[in-house]
Amino acid sequence: MELFRFLAFLAAVLPVAYGAPTQATNSLHPKLLAAMKRDLGLDAEQAAARVSRDISASEIIEQLRTTAGNSFAGAWIAEDGTTLNVAVTDQALASEVTAAGATPAIVANSLSKLQDAKQALDNIDIEQPKTLATDSANVGIAAYYVDVAANKLIIEALSGSTAHAESLASQVGLAASEFEVKTVETMPTTFATVVGGDAYYIDNVARCSVGFSVTTGFVSAGHCGTAGSSATTTSGASLGTFSGSVFPGNADMSYIRTVSGTTLSGYIDGYGSGNLPVSGSTASATGASICRSGSTSGVHCGTVRALGATVTYAEGRVTGLTQTNVCAEPGDSGGSFYTGAQAQGVTSGGSGDCTSGGTTYFQPVNEILSTYSLTLVKA
């Protein structure tokens, strides 16, 4: 199928009070249901209920974020998929959290405090000084993000950089109880590749996956191409040109303005089971179910693990990404992340693969839309 015939995404789901699924979720596409069954162990009824709860949780979180003000400490959906937890630093707010339909958690650190520390890390050089004794293969800060459930800043580092990570945490003013260093085996990589496949090509060399269609083109990952790069279909027909691109830095996003005559529809390729429609872009909470579609590995699902993560790629740091446990592989870059009917973002990079599993990050789509003043195409 030509790329321009399947630019975009998903079907309508109406938010309701947390825990009560809507009838609209019963229309989830069979391909999406199959992926959620395979990756999350949910049958059709459970998947529909989960998607409805995940989307409605976003409204409750925003309501309580406003109510709690500086005492707001983040929110997350528990692993059981049925409990929305909202953390606050003021015990007096617990009753308001409960009244809104969430479970209160009283913690020591506000979300703003931990986010400020993360921002401070973003603003300094985190490279570890090299010495004769340094094993460069074991050195590197892979990523860092706020874990709202743990109420800490998490720093992921290779084994040779754990002491350096601790030093960085101290440098931005965090006490030992306010951060955690996790050892990882590999550094993240982006998922661009030169292997052919059913996707779009950049300058007739690299391959990426389309994210979402907008009224004048489509969006994808920034590392896929720079402003002025060409985009073509798998058969070599012109799709358009990269009009804007950011990578590395404060985003991994791009906007490709398509040529006249390109069909831009509100669907994404379902990889053998029809196309999946999209109806909006309400952002999902930590712990929410989420799925990804890409030209190499097709459709896979998992959950959101952290918001606002900073990731260190070989090309440099990228801030503001969302961490998930959904797998991805080379060529999936730029592809779409979505929760039920709601577009979430475009695939950036990560580690692992869809055989052994892994961690994947995505660029939130709403930032792309606002940066380039774009309008999402809906089914």
Active site residues: 223, 252, 333
What are 322's two structure tokens?
Answer: 């969302």
Distances (CA, A) of 76 to 7, 80, 87, 205, 249: 31, 11, 9, 41, 27
What are 152's two structure tokens?
Answer: 């800490």
What are 329's two structure tokens?
Answer: 């592989």
Measure the CA–CA gap between 233 and 259, rounded to whole angstroms.
12
Measure the CA–CA gap between 1 and 266, rounded to whole angstroms.
16
Give the sheet arrangement for strand 84-88, strand by strand: 72-77, 84-88, 103-106
- What is the b/e burial string over 18-44, where b = at least 16 CB atoms within 10 angstroms of the residue's CB? beebbebbeebbebbbbbbeebbebee
Distances (CA, A) of 318 to 67, 151, 245, 348: 31, 22, 13, 10
Measure the CA–CA gap between 267 and 121, rounded to whole angstroms.
38
Residue 79 DSSP class: T
Closest CA to 35 of 362, 265, 294: 294
Give long-range contacts, CB 8 A cutoff, 24+ apart: 118-122: 118/144, 118/145, 118/146, 118/153, 118/308, 118/310, 120/171, 120/172, 120/173, 121/168, 121/172, 121/310, 122/310, 122/317, 122/319
Rounded to the nearest 5°, which phi and psi values hold at 97?
-65, -45
Rg (CA), the chain: 20
Distances (CA, A) of 100 to 53, 56, 283: 14, 12, 19
